[in-house]
Chain A
């Protein structure tokens, strides 16, 4: 299957700083990328949908000013957690699709805010 690379896999940051997570589709052009958050022992919660060249669409309850999403090209989307706090500590996963096709996921990023 197609490869989606997510970086970094693990990051620890201080409270109040910002963290950027990258999601790249390595061998296909992703018209849409999705960002999820996963709490321990729970399923994935969709945060936002990102289409190349347009603003991201956020799910209800997700603060768009806190979780900045940029989808500058068909192979790269970034999620920036701004002014991170301990409650933002979580596992973040991206996925990429070319239209209404199979979804491929990144390896995930474990964010710990201390």
Chain B
């Protein structure tokens, strides 16, 4: 059974810092991996999608990498801003097109 783990569970940083969120998964038979952002009481916003054949994706200040063989992904946020404060979720898509989610990393960027 696929298990997705995110480390750290919570992170507090001063504004302007670069930071890395980690995601690991136990079964490398995935179609893709997505990073999402969730604000309190809201739905999920898709940040980046990495196909299983890709190594990384970039969007603005965000960069996500994927090492499928080792079951790891990282989300790099450059020059963090208070508006980046949210819960970040990673999810892998497996057979049946289902997403398996990690528990999330709660990020707080202090101004």
A6 touches B43 (CB 8 A): yes
What is the predominant secondary structure among interface residues of chain A facing chain B? strand
Q: Which residues of A contact B45 (CB under 8 A)?
A: 105
Q: Would you list which residues of chain A between 68 and 112 have a CB under 8 Å from chain B?
A: 91, 93, 95, 97, 99-100, 102-108, 110
A108 touches B43 (CB 8 A): yes
Docked Cα-Cα span, A103 to B46, in Å, equals 8
Q: Would you list which residues of chain B between 25 and 80 have a CB under 8 Å from chain A?
A: 31-32, 34, 36, 41-46, 49
What is the predominant secondary structure among interface residues of chain B facing chain A? strand
A43 touches B104 (CB 8 A): yes
A108 and B41 contact, Cβ closer than 8 Å, known pairs A102-B34, A103-B46, A103-B93: yes
Considering only CB atoms and an 8 Å cut-off, how many residues of chain A contact the other chain? 24
Is B99 at the interface (CB under 8 A from chain A)?
A: yes
Chain B residues within CB distance 8 Å of chain A? 31-32, 34, 36, 41-46, 49, 89, 91, 93, 96-99, 101-104
16 further A-B pairs in the complex, CB-CB below 8 A; given A43-B103, A91-B41: A1-B46, A44-B44, A44-B101, A46-B98, A46-B99, A95-B44, A95-B99, A99-B97, A102-B34, A103-B46, A103-B91, A104-B46, A105-B44, A107-B42, A108-B41, A108-B43
